[in-house]
């Protein structure tokens, strides 16, 4: 199965790994789960392109190419899921806060009160373990069932976080204090 014409055409896609100042250089002492999700996503993307490079540069047997292709799929899916989870844990709390604040509620919760950073970090560690299990599944297919259970738990955590954010939004909208604007 061919993945592309020339290995050099993938080089522009590696630019996220080498931004000015470095993406992996910690600027803050506290590292948020969303940053960790982004890092895992970028590492998966880097692994994807390196595997793609190996497939295009080195002639391998059909059996090894089969495993490398599965490895490619898994790395790409890990990239997509990592970025998706990072965005959910940033965007959902922001949208809840923004809409409540724009409607004039005093009691609009802060972003970290909508989805707890500790909750997001627990989800990150579950996700990280699933990344490793998914990569091992290529060699040990028996782990596929464990991976399925873990993915169900992972998406369950995302669903629960969004549900809690939605319930918090509705609670503040129903019981919260609003700004009073008088036009005198």
Two tokens, residue 149: 């259970």
Average pLDDT rounded to a whole number, residues 17-28? 57
- Distance separating alpha carbons of residues 26 and 56, to the nearest angstrom: 34
3-class SS shares of the chain: helix, strand, coil, % to 5? 75, 0, 25
- 101: helix, coil or strand? helix
Average pLDDT over residues 167-179: 89
Three-state SS at 22: coil
Query: Rounded mean pLDDT of 18-47?
Result: 78
Q: What is the DSSP letter of 86?
A: H
User: pLDDT of 86-140, one tens digit each?
Assistant: 999 999 999 999 999 888 888 888 989 999 999 999 999 999 999 999 999 988 9
Say if residues 89 and 111 touch (Cβ distance below 8 Å): no
Predicted local confidence at residue 118, as pLDDT: 95
What CA–CA distances, in Å, run from 58 to 2, 5, 54, 69, 72? 13, 14, 6, 14, 15
Task: Select the highest-mean-pLDDT range: 13-22, 23-32, 60-69, 121-130.
Answer: 121-130
Q: 0.85 exceeded by the pTM?
A: no
Tens of pLDDT, residue by residue over 44-78, are 999 999 988 888 888 878 888 888 889 999 999 99
Task: Tell me whether residue 114 is exposed, middle or buried, using C-beta atoms within 10 angstroms of its C-beta: 0 to 12, 13 to 18, 19 or more.
Answer: buried
Confidence bin at 1 (pLDDT 50/70/90): very low
Q: Determine the pLDDT at residue 106.
A: 83
Residue from 124, 116, 117 nearest 154 by CA? 124
- pLDDT exceeds 60 at position 9: no
Q: What is the pLDDT, as a whole number, of residue 28? A: 61
Q: How far is CA 135 from CA 47, 73, 170, in A?
A: 11, 10, 40
Per residue in 48-57, pLDDT (tens digit) is: 999 888 888 8
Q: Which two tokens stand for residue 165?
A: 């954010």
Pick the residue with more confidence: 24 or 40? Answer: 40
**Residue 75 neighbours by CB under 8 Å, 6+ apart:** 44, 45, 47, 48, 51, 135
Tens digit of pLDDT for each residue in 153-162? Answer: 999 999 999 9
Reading the block at residue 175, the tokens are: 């019981």
């Amino acid at each position: 199965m061919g993945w592309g014409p020339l290995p050099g055409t993938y080089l522009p896609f590696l630019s996220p790994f080498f931004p000015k100042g470095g993406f992996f250089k910690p600027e803050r002492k506290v590292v948020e789960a969303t940053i960790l999700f982004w890092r895992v996503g970028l590492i998966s993307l880097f692994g994807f392109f390196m595997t793609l490079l190996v497939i295009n540069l080195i002639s391998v047997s059909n059996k090894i190419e089969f495993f490398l292709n599965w490895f490619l799929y898994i790395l790409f899916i890990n990239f997509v899921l990592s970025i998706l989870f990072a965005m959910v844990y940033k965007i959902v709390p922001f949208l809840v806060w923004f809409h409540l604040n724009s409607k004039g509620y005093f009691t609009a919760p802060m972003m970290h009160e909508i989805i707890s950073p500790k909750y997001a970090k627990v989800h990150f560690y579950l996700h990280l373990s699933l990344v490793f299990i998914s990569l091992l599944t290529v060699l040990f297919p028996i782990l596929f069932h464990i991976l399925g259970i873990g993915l169900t738990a992972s998406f369950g955590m995302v669903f629960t976080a969004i549900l809690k954010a939605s319930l918090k939004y509705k609670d503040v909208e129903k019981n919260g204090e609003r700004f009073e604007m008088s036009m005198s």
